Amino acid sequence: MNYREDVDITRIGLWYYYRWNIETYFKLLKSSGFNLEKWQQESAQAIFKRLFVASYACLLVWEIEHTNSKNMLAIRKFLVRLSGRLVARKKISTSPALLAGLWNFFSAMDMLELYDIEELHSIKKELNDFMQMEF
């Protein structure tokens, strides 16, 4: 096996850390969030715009995941719960769960801007009556 003795083991560990972050980013783009391989944009500019927005969302998830404050811990737990995804017992969150939670949160906030609370309760009642069950 070829290796260089002048490369510090700490540096190799750091490189692996960076590589793993890149792999996590591509996982979000491809299979755990944005389904990059199913995009159907027809121009390079359209692909660039979508990739730019998706990359910004991935950066936001990374920031949420790596900020260690009491408030951010509560936000991570909130987003995971909102995502509906399960995480391992000893983990608080995963990148895909945070991304899904963010999507659901922004969608809910958008609905709250479009409809007032009485309209939402009315829609809920109509759905309950239609389905003949309470949710």
| DSSP character string of 75-115 | HHHHHHHHHT----TT-S--HHHHHHHHHHHHHHHHHHHHS
Residue 15: which region, alpha, beta or left (left: phi > 0; alpha: psi -120 to 50)?
alpha
pLDDT at 1: 55
What is the rounded end-to-end Cα distance, in angstroms, of the chain?
A: 61
Mind listing the pLDDT tens digit for each residue in 88-133? 888 999 889 999 999 999 999 999 999 999 999 999 999 999 998 8
Which residue's structure tokens are 């909130």? 78
Residue 32 pLDDT greater than 80, yes or no:
no
Average pLDDT score over residue span 16-38 = 84
Which residue's structure tokens are 């890149």? 22
pLDDT at 113: 94
pLDDT at 128: 92
Q: Where does 6-98 show beta strands of DSSP type E?
A: none
Q: Look up residue 36 and give its two tokens.
A: 């990059």
Average pLDDT score over residue span 56-71 = 91
- Model confidence, pTM: 0.73
